[in-house]
């Protein structure tokens, strides 16, 4: 369509006879708004096509081929553009002028922009169309950020910040929780339990710890499938959360083993919680064994309490399962 340009000797030689694809590339990706304007008759100019950048700038209005320029531009700007389009057709030469106003993000703003009009003629020399290029520094620059108004930039930054915050929260949760049961994972549980151990030990407070697992869990997996085993683990985790306090720590220690840390809870209080949990799960046809240990005078770390609870859990298994084994309480003076 831009025949005078293509007929320029030497132009195609630079592009391996691929001028059409070059022009299409510029039309699709050049960062300035461009339009092809059809010359109907003196004073009558119609939009033939708009490039993707122009479409983005005029997002508040739908552009259709055959629409008059007044469909895009306000009256004063349209009148000025039509006058200059007339000069371009009459003189047969490019016209460049400045226009006080433009579109940013689909809304009209008073900002200076330059308009370049280039006549497009047929092989016979008749001017039938104009190429209109809008150079508006307010709408684009070498920086991608300059494609947007300040409000748009601020909105996008806030959206991105919210997205990153959400992603960080999700990553933090995944790093500290067991994905299946939503209890703390072993590493994070031990970190929190260590902190709690130091606190209660320092102030001479009590601490109870339950270690439990599901009786005959392997049989559940073997006979009913791993999906049933996963469901059993989730049921136990939900029952634990419904039984303990918000200040208690619940974690999946490994396999079907769970640990519950009960701050400021003595042997009697811990046993009450353990029995309530065992009874709840028994009603759901799940049976658990529990080892119950409490903080003792000679304990150096939380591992000492965990090891005792582990041995008591083994005793509960040996003594018939579906039971609670606990040691006597030694107060810290």
Q: Write the pLDDT tens digit of every residue in 28-38.
A: 777 778 889 99
Q: pLDDT higher for 297 or 13?
A: 297
Q: pLDDT higher for 107 or 313?
A: 313
Question: What pLDDT, on the 0 to 100 scale, is given for residue 210?
Answer: 98
Q: How far apart, in whole angstroms, are the C-alpha atoms of residue 301 and residue 310?
A: 15
Q: How far apart, in whole angstroms, are the C-alpha atoms of residue 246 and residue 44?
A: 76
Question: What pLDDT, on the 0 to 100 scale, is given for residue 163?
Answer: 84
Q: What is the mean pLDDT of residues 66-87?
A: 83
Instruction: Express each pLDDT in 1-27 by its tens digit.
Output: 333 444 444 434 444 445 566 677 777
Q: How far apart, in whole angstroms, are the C-alpha atoms of residue 182 and residue 240?
A: 11
Contact 63, 47 (CB under 8 A): yes
Q: What is the mean pLDDT of residues 294-305?
A: 95
How many C-beta atoms surround the C-beta of residue 272 within 10 A? 12
Q: How far apart, in whole angstroms, are the C-alpha atoms of residue 143 and residue 106?
A: 20
Q: How far apart, in whole angstroms, are the C-alpha atoms of residue 150 and residue 247?
A: 46
Q: How far apart, in whole angstroms, are the C-alpha atoms of residue 80 and residue 85?
A: 9
Angle of helix 186-202 relative to helix 150-176, nearest 10 degrees, comes to: 80
Contact 107, 60 (CB under 8 A): yes
Q: How far apart, in whole angstroms, are the C-alpha atoms of residue 153 and residue 292?
A: 58
What is the phi/psi pair of residue 112, to 5°?
A: -65, 140
Buried (b) or exposed (e) across 201-219, using 16+ Cβ within 10 A? Answer: beeeebbbbbbbbbbebee
Q: How far apart, in whole angstroms, are the C-alpha atoms of residue 120 and residue 104?
A: 28
Q: What is the mean pLDDT of residues 59-88?
A: 77
Question: What pLDDT, on the 0 to 100 scale, is given for residue 215?
Answer: 96
Q: pLDDT higher for 304 or 42?
A: 304
How many C-beta atoms surround the C-beta of residue 175 within 10 A? 10
Three-state SS for the chain is CCHHHHCCCCCHHHHCCCHHHHHHHHHHHCCCCEEEEEEEECCEEEEEEECHHHHHHCCCCCCCCCCEHHHCCCHHHHHHHHHHHHHHHHHCCCEEEEEEEEEECCEEEEEEEEEEEEEEECCCCCEEEEEEEEECCCCCCCCHHHHCCHHHHHHHHHHHHHHHHHHHHHHHHHHHECCCCCCECHHHHHHHHHHHHHHHHHCCCCEEEEEEEECCHHHHHHHHCHHHHHHHHHHHHHHHHHHCCCCCEEEEEECCEEEEEEECCCHHHHHHHHHHHHHHHHHCCCCEEEEEEECCCCCCCHHHHHHHHHHHHHHHHHCCCCCEEECCCCCCC
Q: What is the mean pLDDT of residues 235-240?
A: 97
Distance of CA 301 to the CA centre of its chain: 40
Q: What is the mean pLDDT of residues 221-226?
A: 94
Assign a CATH topology to domain 3-153: Beta-Lactamase (3.30.450)
Please report, for residues 83, 101, 138, 139, 168, the alpha-carbon distance to residue 111 in angstroms, rounded to integers and kept in the order given: 20, 5, 7, 10, 40
Percent of the chain with pLDDT over 90: 50
Handedness of CA 165, 169, 174, 175 (dihedral sign): positive
Contact 327, 300 (CB under 8 A): no
| Weakest-pLDDT range from 158-167, 264-273, 313-322 | 158-167
Q: What is the mean pLDDT of residues 241-258?
A: 96
Question: What pLDDT, on the 0 to 100 scale, is given for residue 52?
Answer: 82
CATH number of 176-326, picked from 3.30.540.10, 1.10.3720.10, 3.40.50.620, 3.30.70.270: 3.30.70.270
Handedness of CA 115, 116, 122, 125 (dihedral sign): positive
Q: pLDDT higher for 195 or 21?
A: 195
Question: What pLDDT, on the 0 to 100 scale, is given for residue 71?
Answer: 78
Domains of the chain, by residue range, sit at 3-153, 176-326
């Amino acid at each position: 369509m831009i025949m005078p340009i293509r007929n320029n000797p030497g132009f195609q030689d630079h592009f391996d006879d691929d001028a059409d694809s070059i022009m299409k590339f510029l039309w699709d990706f050049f960062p300035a708004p461009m339009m092809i304007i059809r010359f109907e008759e003196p004073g009558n100019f119609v939009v033939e096509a708009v490039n993707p950048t122009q479409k983005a700038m005029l997002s508040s209005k739908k552009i259709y081929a055959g629409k008059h320029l007044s469909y895009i531009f306000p009256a004063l700007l349209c009148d000025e553009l039509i006058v200059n389009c007339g000069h371009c057709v009459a003189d047969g030469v490019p016209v460049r002028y400045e226009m006080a106003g433009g579109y940013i993000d689909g809304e009209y703003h008073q900002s200076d922009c330059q308009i370049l009009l280039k006549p497009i003629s047929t092989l016979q020399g008749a001017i039938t169309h104009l190429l209109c290029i809008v150079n508006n520094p307010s709408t684009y620059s070498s920086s991608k950020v300059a494609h947007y108004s300040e409000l748009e930039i601020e909105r996008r930054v806030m959206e991105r910040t919210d997205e990153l915050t959400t992603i960080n929260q999700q990553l933090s949760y995944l790093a500290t929780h067991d994905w299946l049961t939503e209890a703390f994972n072993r590493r994070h549980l031990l970190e929190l339990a260590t902190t709690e151990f130091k606190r209660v030990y320092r102030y001479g407070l009590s601490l109870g710890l339950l270690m439990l697992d599901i009786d005959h869990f392997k049989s559940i997996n073997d006979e009913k499938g791993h999906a049933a085993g996963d469901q059993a683990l989730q049921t136990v985790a939900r029952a634990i959360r419904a039984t303990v306090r918000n200040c208690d720590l619940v974690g999946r220690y490994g396999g079907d083993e769970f640990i519950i840390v009960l701050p400021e809870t003595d042997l009697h209080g811990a046993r009450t919680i353990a029995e309530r949990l065992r009874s709840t799960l028994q009603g759901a046809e799940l049976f658990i064994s529990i080892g119950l240990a409490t903080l003792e005078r000679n304990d150096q770390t939380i591992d000492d309490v965990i090891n005792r609870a582990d041995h008591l859990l083994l005793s509960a298994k040996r003594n018939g399962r579906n039971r609670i084994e606990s040691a006597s309480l030694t107060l810290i003076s």
